[in-house]
Amino acid sequence: AAMLRLDPDALPPVEGRSAFYDDVMRGLTLRQKTLPAKYFYDTEGSRLFDRICELPEYYPTRTEIGILRDHADDIAAFAGEKAALIEFGSGSSTKVRLLLGAMRHPAYVPIDISGEHMIEAVERLRLDYPDVPMHPVETDFTQDAALPTIISGRRRIGFFPGSTIGNFTPDQAEAFLRRAAGTLGAGAGFVVGVDLKKDPAVLHAAYNDRQGVTAAFNLNLLARINRELHGEIDLAHFRHLAFYNAAAGRVEMHIESLKRQRVRIAGDMFAFRNGETIHTENSCKYAVDEFQALAKRAGWHPEVCFTDADKLFSVHLLAR
Ligand code: AVI
Q: Concatenated DSSP letters for 54-76? A: T-SS-HHHHHHHHHHHHTHHHHH
Q: What is the ipTM of this complex?
A: 0.99
Closest CA to 256 of 271, 241, 266, 268: 241
* Closest residue to atom 7 of ligand 1, CA basis: 283
User: Which ligand 1 atom sits closest to the C-alpha of 60?
Assistant: 6
Ligand 1 centroid from CA 283, angstroms: 7
- The sheet carrying 107-112 orders its strands as 137-138, 107-112, 83-88, 155-160, 189-195, 313-319, 301-307
Cβ of 207 less than 6 Å from ligand 1: yes
CB 73 within 8 A of CB 242: no
Cβ of 64 less than 6 Å from ligand 1: no
Size of the chain, expressed as the number of residues it contains: 320
Strands 107-112 and 137-138 turn out to be parallel
- The sheet carrying 238-245 orders its strands as 33-34, 277-284, 250-257, 238-245
* Closest residue to atom 2 of ligand 1, CA basis: 164
Rounded Cα gap, residues 268 and 233, in angstroms = 12
Cβ of 283 less than 6 Å from ligand 1: yes
Cβ of 89 less than 6 Å from ligand 1: no
Cβ of 52 less than 6 Å from ligand 1: yes
User: Which ligand 1 atom sits closest to the C-alpha of 89?
Assistant: 1
Rounded Cα gap, residues 170 and 248, in angstroms = 10
**pLDDT of the chain along its 320 residues, tens only?**
445 555 544 544 444 579 999 999 999 999 999 999 999 999 899 999 999 999 999 999 999 999 999 999 999 999 999 999 999 999 999 999 999 999 999 999 999 988 898 999 999 999 999 999 999 999 888 877 778 999 999 999 999 999 999 999 999 999 999 999 988 999 999 999 999 999 999 999 999 999 999 999 999 999 999 999 999 999 999 999 999 999 999 999 999 999 999 999 999 999 999 999 999 999 999 999 999 999 999 999 999 999 999 999 999 999 99
* Closest residue to atom 5 of ligand 1, CA basis: 283
